[in-house]
Amino acid sequence: ERTPVTSTSTTPSTTASRRALVTLDLDRTLIYSAHAIAEGAGPGKDADAALSAAQCVEMYQGRPQSFMSTMSMTLLGDLHAASDVVPTTTRTIEQYRRIRLPIGVPRFAITSNGGNILVEGHPDPEWSRRVASLLDRLAVGGDEGFARLAQDLRDRLQRVAHLVLRV
């Protein structure tokens, strides 16, 4: 049995258990399209049975778009109970918001390949300013630009983790 790690902060507020931040990729890791489910069923398998066993978590233009297995939903709930789950995706904010995860709106999410950080479902204005400023300053090739964005994202996640650990 694990003992929770408690904050050593001397802040007058009560000490709280530290919660890990767990980034979790969405597409083809946690959620799947009907096509991906059929593809994963393999030859000779009943793709319809695999799809009917999955739960719809995204609607697009009135049709089911993305699905999760019941087991994934249960495990995600367990993970969420023990940590701050941070959905991470290449999707735009609009595309991400169509997804209805069984954990509700997470405290943090990363969309657009790190171009946006959402805090309780809303873009983080500080991060948005940093990305815009970085893009304005870039007079370099794409690889260096992505390297700078990646470093800024790592720095921001460390700051967010520090804030979470103080809560």
pLDDT by residue (tens digit) across 103-118?
999 999 999 999 999 9
pLDDT by residue (tens digit) across 72-93?
999 999 999 999 999 999 999 9
pLDDT by residue (tens digit) across 110-161?
999 999 999 999 999 999 999 888 877 765 556 776 787 788 888 888 887 7
Is a pLDDT exceeding 60 seen at residue 58? Answer: yes
> What pLDDT shows up at residue 167?
57
Measure the CA–CA gap between 16 and 162, rounded to whole angstroms. Answer: 13
Give the HSE-up count for residue 1: Cα atoms under 13 Å, Cβ half-sphere. Answer: 1
Indicate yes or no: pTM above 0.75. Answer: no
> What pLDDT shows up at residue 141?
57
Whether 88 contacts 26, CB under 8 Å = yes
The b-or-e profile of 123-133 (16+ CB within 10 A means b, else e) is bbeebeebbee
Task: Report in angstroms the alpha-carbon separations of 91 from 4, 24, 49, 96.
Answer: 34, 13, 28, 6
Label residue 140 exposed, middle or buried (CB < 10 Å: 0-12, 13-18, 19+): exposed
